[in-house]
Amino acid sequence: MDEKKMGPYRLETTIGSGGMGTVYRGIDERTGDKAAIKVLPSNMSHNEGLRERFQREIETLLQLKHPNIVRLFGFGEEDGELFYAMELVDGRSLAEVIVKTPIKNWRTVVRYSLEIASGLRQAHDMGIVHRDIKPANVLITRGDKVKILDFGIARLFGATGVTMAGGIIGTADYMAPEQAFGEGVTPKADLYSLGALMYAMLARQPPFRGNSVTEILDKLRYNEPIPIDRLVETLPNDLSQLITQLLDKNPENRVPTARALCRRLEALLELPEETDFDLNLADHSTRAPSPPGDEYQLKDGDEDAPTMDPQARKLAEAPTMQLSEEEVASQLKSKGNYSGTEAPATVITQRGKKDAPQTRFTTVAEQRKKTSEEESRREKSTAWINYIQIGGLLVALGVVVAVMLVAPQKPSADQMYHSIEYSANEGNLADVADQMDDFLERFPEDPRSEYVAELKEELNLRRQENRYRLAATLGRGSQGLHPVEQIYLDAMKANELNPELARDKLQGLILAYGPADTQQGDIARCLVLAERRLKQLNASLSSRSKQQTIAIRERLEFANRIAEDEPQKAERIYRGVIQLLEGEPWGANLLNDAKRRLSKMMSN
């Protein structure tokens, strides 16, 4: 390539390219230090969505300084092309590691996961959610250390998940359900993605696979992943349970924080060495292909050009979602309109200003010094007018009080409804509980009052469900509860150890006291919760029975194949299947098959 410069860096070879520009290996001509230079070309810089995302990635990296996060060196603009310089990692992506040199020991998986969780812990403490944790965005150095990269779609807590003119951006195979369906992104979305990454490192496939984003989303919403200890043998139970917890569709049921996850992973590393066995994939594990992702990949600093294995991309770079506004409307459950967040300020100026500089470079140290000096000047410049401000506030307060006394005004129906609708879309119904009561009291004839009443009832349901969940968790007695509530609480407690018993209790409760619309108050709400929980249990048990049916059928087929050469082993399998399926309605056909074959074997 022709010699090209970006600030003080001379670009040498292309490391990779994707939807957010191109990454080069560069040399700082002042010091001779190597760096990875990410460039957003001038033709892409005119796209405000891409420009905002590129700028946000710089601002995010400016805030982060952690040994497990790729470091930012500086940023700037060269002849209309935005760029930033970051640490050049000598190593491979986790995607390549999984495919080319599969991980053989569960401790390696836990150690990598601990380093990723450690990096996420600092990001979360800074109020930043990564939102795209996947194998292609995790680098393993030659020293076997982890580096997280690509904060291009990171968001502050509470920011909308809709970007790029109404599209949801993220990687479907590793995306948390609440992120995929626009229900609000919190740090627990990153913890789900890390759980999916742990699953992929162990099983060499993500929890859900499909040939299209739509297929993966359907599985993400309705299916449960095959338990990791069914796909991979010789795993400690604590590790299997941790991955299952991280992949829970309900964020409230996951590990609460990255800090807590670090403690759990550290405890796993303290298990005795006799638990160390090479990982062994079960025979029925499969890997479905998926189209490659669109993100760049840092490569070994000594290589001349990227040689990323296409199989690594198929496994670990699942489709990157960028849904249109129409697709978003069909996926999101909330009713309000969304828009992208405003572009961050201060790092790179917006294009279009005649006097905007076209060539500039700022190091991280210079930017932090500049920020510190600006904050200091602001503090000094405001100190001398504090008394004037206080006086002005007192005068303003007096005017406001006078106006309120003379002509008190209440918010209009439109104002109240927009506030209620916004909080509903953000999942914060509790914040507007009083406003909903006020709206229903003041505007009962408003056509929107029916929707507000539904939101109010949904809030009541959530509060009641939380009370039941707390009572079940703390083991409180059922004194003072209606029999309907007592039975529901018993079912919740039974669900942990015996889901079938919980299902039977809920079915009996609904048959005896339902339907919900024949009751009132807390009893009606309890029946609504019972109907919801029963639906979830039926789906979960159905999925589990299907998985067990597949596994047992495979064992029977195996026994059939070896019956002639190894009759004793086949007989043991038949007897085991019979013992497992006695009394299980879903396994009646398999049970009869096992009995028939055992009887035939014994008669020969």
Residues belonging to the active site:
132
Instruction: Please report where in the chains the tokens 């609000």 appear, as a residue.
Output: 184
**DSSP assignment string, 95-120:** HHHHHHS---BHHHHHHHHHHHHHHH
Contacts of 182 (CB under 8 A, 6+ apart): 161, 162, 168, 328, 331, 332, 333, 334, 338
Angle between helices 483-495 and 449-474 (to 10 degrees): 60
Q: What is the DSSP secondary-structure string of 421-481?
A: HHHHHTT-GGGGHHHHHHHHHH-TTSTTHHHHHHHHHHHHHHHHHHHHHHHHHHT---TT-
**In this structure, what DSSP letter does residue 336 have?**
S
- Structural tokens at position 447: 């056509």
* Cβ neighbours for 584, distance < 8 A, ≥ 6 positions apart: 591
Candidates 296, 317, 111; CA nearest to 200 is 317
Do residues 260 and 185 touch, judged by C-beta distance below 8 A? no
33 burial type by CB count under 10 A (0-12 exposed, 13-18 middle, 19+ buried): middle
How far is Cα 506 from Cα 524, in angstroms, rounded to an integer?
Answer: 14
> Which phi and psi (to 5°) does residue 3 adopt?
-60, 130
Angle at 340 between CA 334 and CA 341, to 5 degrees: 110
- Which position has the token pair 């700028």? 55
Cβ–Cβ < 8 Å for 552, 589: no
β-strand pairing of 9-18 with 21-28: antiparallel
Q: What is the 3-state secondary structure (H, E, C) of 201-267?
A: HHHCCCCCCCCCHHHHHHHHHHCCCCCHHHHEECCCHHHHHHHHHHCCCCHHHCCCCHHHHHHHHHH
Burial of residue 279 (number of CB atoms within 10 Å: 0-12, 13-18, 19+): buried
Termini Cα distance of the chain: 77
